[in-house]
Amino acid sequence: MTRGGRLPCDAGVTLVELLVALSVMGLLSVLLLGSLEFGSGVWKRADEDLLATGRSLKLQSALVRELAQIYPFHRGDAVVFDGAAHVLSYLAPDPQVPGALDRVTISVADGTLVRRSVPELSRSSAQETVLSRDVGRLDFSYFGAQDGKPAGWHSNWHGQPVLPSLIRIDLDGSGFVMAPRIRIDTGCVLDALPAYCREAS
């Protein structure tokens, strides 16, 4: 005991110890904040990738449904199907008029994927449907035999007697392949003069 009966003050901390403790706490706070920011960035990127994947799959499904409607109508010795590297045109059944066919064109204009349809045997105005926005690039290629050559991939398909066996679609770097699905309308009776289907009596 010291003079006066008081104990020495052993419970206090020095200024140096206090500064060291504050420095350690500050360093831990910086590390924790950096970890939170990193985790938040990873979460955000994963969320964006998931949304992009969902959008791509939805668009692929829409294109597959569209191209599944390709109708193998012949005019002379050639099927009515014009496939280019960035534009695809074909005939498809008119959803509103049984037996009628529409000339359908799939293309990208100003970053928008558009389906344009015109009735084949009328002068009605074209109808445009937006399939997707913010599309950067759309490429088509076609697999099959052309002009007696072995089957292979081609950037164009025009004036051929049959449809391509496969169509490859590259949409903003996401590629997939589909086969045209030929569907025959067994209830169609062809009227040779207008080349138009009429219902069987």
- The identity of residue 91, as a single letter, is L
Cα angle 82, 104, 146; round to 5? 20
**76 burial class (0-12, 13-18, 19+ CB within 10 angstroms)?**
exposed
- The DSSP element (H or E) to which 91 belongs, if any, is strand 88-93
Residue that has been written with the tokens 């791509």 in this structure: 56
Closest to 62 in 3D by CA, of 117, 114, 134, 126: 114
Q: Are 83 and 142 in contact (CB under 8 A)?
A: yes
pLDDT, tens digit only, all 201 positions of the chain: 455 555 555 556 787 788 888 888 888 888 888 777 777 777 788 777 777 677 777 778 888 888 888 988 888 888 899 999 999 999 998 888 888 889 999 998 888 888 999 988 776 778 888 888 878 788 999 999 988 888 999 999 999 988 999 999 988 777 888 888 764 454 566 666 666 666 555
pLDDT at 88: 93
Strand partners, 188: 199
- The DSSP element (H or E) to which 114 belongs, if any, is strand 112-119
pLDDT at 73: 85
